[in-house]
Amino acid sequence: MYLLAWMIIGAVVGWGSGRVFQGNGYGPFMDILMGVGGAVVGGLLMRSAGYGGTVITALVAMVGAVLVTMLAAYVNGRRVYARQL
């Protein structure tokens, strides 16, 4: 059950953090996949460290998804920009 929750959180957060970057990137599908990967790794690390709470593992899954997506974007040369309304 945790794995499915981490995957959903990672997909949403990976897509959202990928939308913050501009430039030639990997695209929304790869941002989602990187977010899912980061969330699953972050969640598994927290579970193996002994933290079993849903809220704590979900927060770490979010942080993991953002970090993996941001790292890949910076390596690829994409920049953060503010959206104008």
Q: Kindly list the averaged pLDDT for each block of 10 residues, start to end, along the chain of length 85.
A: 86 83 72 87 86 81 83 74 57
Q: Which residues pair with 22 in a beta bridge?
A: 79
The three-point CA angle 29-34-35 to 5° equals: 95
Residue 59, pLDDT score = 85
**DSSP class of 27:** -
pLDDT tens for each residue of 62-77 = 888 888 877 887 777 7
Look up the pTM and report it. 0.79
Residue 72, pLDDT score = 80
* Mean pLDDT of all residues belonging to the chain: 80
